[in-house]
Amino acid sequence: MKHFKRLSFILVLVFFTIPFYLQGEPAGEKIIAMCRPSVAQIKNIEHLYEKNLITLDRIKLICVYHADEKSDYALPTGYEPSLEYYDLSYEYVKENKLTWVEFRKITGKVDTRDLFKENTWTPQFKEIFDRADGIIFTGGADIPPAIYGAETNLLTGPSTPMRNMYEISFLFHLIGSSRNPGFVPFLESRRDYPVLAICLGAQSLNAAAGGTLYQDIPSEIYGLKTMEQVLKLGKDRVHSYVYLKNLHPLEKGFASSFHRIKLKKKSIFVKRMGMKKSDKPQVLSSHHQAVKKVGRDLRVIATSMDGKIVEALEHQKYKNVLGVQFHPEPYRLYMKGKYYRKKASGKKDFNLRIFLRENPPAMKFHRNLWYWFSASL
C-alpha cells in the first residue's frame, strides 16, 4: 500500500509538470466567440481546427458582428452588399455545411461617450460571455482616435467605426479600464477566461484598458516620409508588406512581411508556452499602428528587435488575456502548396510554412500559441 501511494503521487506529479501542449485533449464541445467573421477569418479557424492546431475534439464558433458594421474586405466584382455585410460569410458556412458555425448579431447604437460604461450592448455582451468558453478579436482597420482621446493623424484610416466602437466596448466590459475605475469587469467572475486579441485586436485591447496608439509607425517612431525609406530599414523594422505592394501596384501575390520579436522573461510565452527568453521567433506582420501608452493592468511581454514596437501584451490580473500585434492565425501560414513572391518581378517561390520551419523556433512558437489557447478553453 505504501508503494502504491508513492507511485500514485509520482504519477500525479508527472502529469502536472508535463507542459500543457503535451497533455491530452479536453473532452466535450468548447464554444469560441470570434469578432469580424469574414470568410477569411472563418477559414482560418476551420483550418486551425482541421490541422489540429486548435487541439479540441469538438468546437462551436459563434461569429459576432454589429448589424451596422461596414466591411473592410474586398467584395467580389458585381456583388451588391445588402444591409448585412457578412452575407458572404453566411453563404460560405451554408455551402460548406459548417454546422458548428453560427452567427450572433449585435444591435443598437451607443454614443462614443458611453463606450466605457454599461450601455445598450451590455446585456448582449454578457450573453455571449456567459455562453462562450473564450473569445478572439481579429485584425482590421484603424480605430477612430477620438475613442482613445487623440486627434486624427493624416495617415489614419478609420473605415469601420461601428466595429471599432462595439469591440472596444466589449473588451472594456471584459477587462475594465482606467477610463471607468469603478466598473466591475466580466472577468472578475471568470478570471481564467481566454481572450486572444490579434493585431487590431491587441490595439483595441489596449485602447479599452485606457491606453493609446502610435497612429503611424514609420512617421511617428522612425521619422520617415516615404515607402522607399521604410523598406531600407531592414526586415526587422518593416511591419507591413503594403509598402512593397504599393510601390509595385501592377504586381500581385507578394508575401506578407516577417520579422523577429524579443520575448520577455516573465511572459506567458516563456512561463506557459514552452519558449525560452533567448528565442527570437519570426512572426507575420501587417500593421502601421502600434501601442503607445499601455492601458491599465496590461504588461508588455514582447517587442520588436529594436524595442520600439510593442509586439505582445498580457493582463496582470487575468492570466489568459493575451494581445499579439502579429498574426498567428492565417491558414496560409500552415499550407504546403501555396507560394508567393518576396520581391518585385520575382518568382512565386516563397512558402510561408517552409519559412517558419526553416527559421526555428518560428513554427514551434506558432503551434504552442494555439496549443495554449486550446488548453485555456
The pLDDT of residue 345 = 87
The pLDDT of residue 24 = 43
pLDDT tens column, 286-340: 999 999 999 999 999 999 999 999 999 999 999 999 999 999 999 999 999 999 9
pLDDT tens column, 48-71: 999 999 999 999 999 999 999 876
Arithmetic mean of pLDDT over the chain = 91
The pLDDT of residue 375 = 97
Q: pLDDT band at residue 73, thresholds of 50, 70 and 90?
A: low
Domains of the chain: 28-214+286-336+366-376 (3.40.50.880)
Give Dmax over CA atoms of the chain in angstroms. 77
Q: pLDDT band at residue 153, thresholds of 50, 70 and 90?
A: very high
The pLDDT of residue 74 = 53
pLDDT tens column, 238-269: 999 999 999 999 999 999 999 999 999 999 99
Q: Which residue has the higher pLDDT, 10 or 354?
A: 354
Q: Which residue has the higher pLDDT, 28 or 300?
A: 300
- Is pLDDT of 8 > 90? no
Q: pLDDT band at residue 16, thresholds of 50, 70 and 90?
A: very low
The pLDDT of residue 14 = 38
Average the pLDDT over each of 77-91, 168-182, 316-330 and give the range with the smallest value. 77-91
Span 223-252, average pLDDT:
95
Span 95-110, average pLDDT:
97
Q: Which of 295, 115, 323, 298 minimizes the C-alpha distance to 213?
A: 295
- Is pLDDT of 4 > 90? no
The pLDDT of residue 28 = 84
Distance of CA 225 to the CA centre of its chain: 28
